[in-house]
């Protein structure tokens, strides 16, 4: 495992931020967060489920409370992981610029590290106020099977690229498996399997 150095204030808390729709949260998300936390010596990783993911507005997304609860269940056993309601409690479309401003307000002068998979990183210039994002947080792009990880076109020094254990899991595939009556055991945490079953999520897709 590599050790990563990025310039940061001495003694400041180092907070990872893992934003996602988490419909459902799966082991690809959890492994990425855990690996980045270790490589960047993070004190905590805050998972932030989206409220209204505007770039997924053409897709049906499960209710925010279900996605929030699955994220809480999936992260509960790790003392370094927590979950923020910031994006689901804010009205309107979810923009990361607002997420980072909210977190900055709550966590004062902590150093923020926003974690994205290779696919999300490649879209970052389409996000709202993309230029300003890099002044609020350092970005960490992680490898994801089937996607090319690159920081081409992104501000120099604003992004670190990190190799994480390859897990070819996507929420889309998990939803399709449930809809077809196939198992999602070991793709998502056990408690999330139970929650999907209890709430009958993804059955009609």
Ligand X SMILES: O=C(O)c1ccc[n+]([C@@H]2O[C@H](COP(=O)([O-])O)[C@@H](O)[C@H]2O)c1
φ, ψ at 71 (rounded to 5°):
-70, -40
In the complex with ligand X, the residue whose CB is nearer, 100 or 184, is 100
**Spatial separation of the C-alpha atoms in residues 192 and 201, rounded to whole Å:** 11
Contacts (Cβ under 8 Å, ≥6 apart) of 126: 55
Residue from 119, 134, 161, 176 binding ligand ATP (CB under 6 A): 119
**Spatial separation of the C-alpha atoms in residues 20 and 18, rounded to whole Å:** 7
Q: In this chain, which stretch among 26-34, 93-101, 147-155, 184-192 interacts with ligand X, using CB under 6 A?
A: 93-101
Closest CB 175 distance from ligand X, rounded Å: 13
Helices first, then strands: H and E counts in the chain = 8, 6
Contact between 28 and ligand ATP (CB under 6 A)?
A: yes
What 3-state DSSP class applies to 54? helix
Contact between 96 and ligand X (CB under 6 A)?
A: yes
Q: In this chain, which stretch among 92-100, 106-114, 115-123, 180-188 interacts with ligand ATP, using CB under 6 A?
A: 115-123
Q: Answer positive or negative: Cα dihedral of 75, 114, 125, 90.
A: positive
Q: In this chain, which stretch among 1-9, 37-45, 113-121, 179-187 interacts with ligand ATP, using CB under 6 A?
A: 113-121
134-153: which residues touch ligand ATP (CB under 6 A)?
142, 144
User: Which residue's Cβ lies closest to ligand X?
Assistant: 19
**Spatial separation of the C-alpha atoms in residues 193 and 195, rounded to whole Å:** 6
- Beta strand segments in the chain, E: 14-20, 44-49, 81-83, 111-117, 138-142, 159-162
- Contacts with ligand X by CB under 6 A lie at 19-21, 48, 50, 53, 55-56, 94-97, 120, 127-128
- Contacts with ligand ATP by CB under 6 A lie at 20-23, 28-29, 32, 116-117, 119-120, 142, 144, 167, 169-172
């Amino acid at each position: 495992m590599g050790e990563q150095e990025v310039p940061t204030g001495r003694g400041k808390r180092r907070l990872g931020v893992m934003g996602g729709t988490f419909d459902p949260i799966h082991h690809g998300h959890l492994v990425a967060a855990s690996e980045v936390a270790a490589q960047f010596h993070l004190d905590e990783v805050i998972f932030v489920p989206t409220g209204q993911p505007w770039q997924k507005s053409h897709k049906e997304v499960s209710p925010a409370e279900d996605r929030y609860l699955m994220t809480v269940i999936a992260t509960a056993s790790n003392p370094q992981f927590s979950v923020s309601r910031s994006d689901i409690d804010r009205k309107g479309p979810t923009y990361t610029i607002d997420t980072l401003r909210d977190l900055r307000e709550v966590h004062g002068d902590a150093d923020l590290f926003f974690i994205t998979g290779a696919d999300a990183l490649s879209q970052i210039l389409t996000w709202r106020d993309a230029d300003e994002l890099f002044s609020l947080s350092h970005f960490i792009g992680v490898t994801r099977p089937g996607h090319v990880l690159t920081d081409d076109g992104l501000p120099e020094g604003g992004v670190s690229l990190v190799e994480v254990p390859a897990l070819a899991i996507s929420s889309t595939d998990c939803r399709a498996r449930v809809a077809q009556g196939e198992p999602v055991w070991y793709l998502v945490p056990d408690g999330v399997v139970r929650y999907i079953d209890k709430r009958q999520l993804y059955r009609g897709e």
